[in-house]
Amino acid sequence: MSESEFLARRFEDARPHLRTVAQRILGSAHEADDAVQEAWVRVIRADTGDVGNLTGWLTTVVSRICLDMLRSRSARREDPAELPVTVPAAAAGPEDEVLLTDAIGPALLLVLDTLSPGERLAFVLHDLFGVPFSQIAEVVGCTPEAARQLASRARRRVRGAEGPAEHNLNRRRAVVDAFLAASRGGDFGALLELLDPEVVLRADAAAVAMGSDERVTGADLVARTFTGRAQAARLALIDGQPGAAWLHRGEPRVLFVFTIGATGLVAGIELLAEPGGRTVAMV
């Protein structure tokens, strides 16, 4: 396989993730497709020989393109972008992983349209995808501390648009979704940022029989366990709380039950291959 063919294959593998990132930043499916296509044009012109984490590098490229589009949109004083249509779980494909409305709701999309391009980008990348502020700073062109402040200001605006219960659910959902994205993308650093230092991963007897460790303790080991995995996991509501499920022939086979601590970090994960009477709703 030639280098160009290898790069094309890797890009196609990352396309669903890149499209999700772009759509969440821009709030527009059409603009997201344009951003991803422009990213491919830039990729084939770039020297990627020294790139270690290609998915992370591609995320940065797409984010920069999206930032330029947001700034252009602000300069033209356009109306807010269209509200994306939620794809039913039964009809969802790889390119429709989880739309923006799944994580923050149509009303909050309107709030995002009131943020500056830098604030919006910092909030989406960090709070929804767990991208570190050092990487966000490279995209925006500022210091990591300034990127942190951008996300903080955006977060206060977003919280002001939600009621306490809705905010709590959306925040938990965003954390789980960011965890799954980091796991699929093999982003060890992003996983570490989402995990409590004392996080505990537990598996029931059936999951252990399938090859899982019964207990893993500590952010480093848990992050290593999930890095590059969860490819087939889908976001789900388990007993009404955000979690994930691995499907087999369309049916939940293993549930990932997340415990989110007061700090907003993942404090515990349970792998349940025998879910018992738990209620599972795919989203």
Is the same domain home to 132 and 215? Answer: no
Tell me whether residue 238 is exposed, middle or buried, using C-beta atoms within 10 angstroms of its C-beta: 0 to 12, 13 to 18, 19 or more. buried
Is the same domain home to 73 and 120? Answer: yes
* Top-confidence residue, 7 or 191: 191
Full residue range of the structural domain in which residue 227 is found? 194-282
* pLDDT value of position 167: 53
Is the same domain home to 120 and 199? Answer: no
- Domain boundary at 143, 162, 181, which? 162
Confirm whether 141 is domain-assigned: yes
Is the distance from CB of 227 to CB of 188 less than 8 angstroms? yes
Question: Can you give the CATH number for the domain in which 100 is found?
Answer: 1.20.140.160
Q: For 111-164, how does the pLDDT look when each residue is reduced to its tens digit (9 = 90+)?
A: 777 789 999 999 989 888 888 999 999 999 999 999 999 998 888 877 665 455
* Top-confidence residue, 232 or 186: 186
Is the same domain home to 238 and 112? Answer: no
Enter the pTM of the model: 0.51
Confirm whether 185 is domain-assigned: no
Strand partners, 51: none
Interatomic CA distance for residues 11 and 17, integer angstroms: 10
The number of folded domains in the chain is 2
Is the same domain home to 204 and 150? Answer: no
Q: For 12-63, how does the pLDDT look when each residue is reduced to its tens digit (9 = 90+)?
A: 988 998 998 998 898 888 899 999 999 999 888 887 767 778 888 899 999 9
Confirm whether 77 is domain-assigned: yes
Is the same domain home to 206 and 137? Answer: no
Is the same domain home to 28 and 77? Answer: yes
Q: For 163-222, how does the pLDDT look when each residue is reduced to its tens digit (9 = 90+)?
A: 555 556 777 888 898 899 889 888 898 899 889 899 999 999 999 999 899 999 999 999
* pLDDT value of position 205: 93
* pLDDT value of position 108: 60
Is the same domain home to 206 and 134? Answer: no
- Domain boundary at 111, 143, 162, which? 162
* pLDDT value of position 214: 93
Confirm whether 168 is domain-assigned: no
| Whether pLDDT at 102 is above 50 | no
Structure tokens at 23: 């759509």
Interatomic CA distance for residues 238 and 52, integer angstroms: 36
* pLDDT value of position 225: 93
Is the same domain home to 10 and 118? Answer: yes
Residue 75: CB atoms within 10 A of its CB come to 9
Q: Residue 16: which of 44, 48, 58, 66 has the closest Cα?
A: 58
**AA identity, residue 241:** Q
DSSP line for 194-263: HEEEEEEEEE-HHHHHTT--SEEESHHHHHHHHTT--TTEEEEEETTEEEEEEEETTEEEEEEEEEE-TT
* pLDDT value of position 35: 94
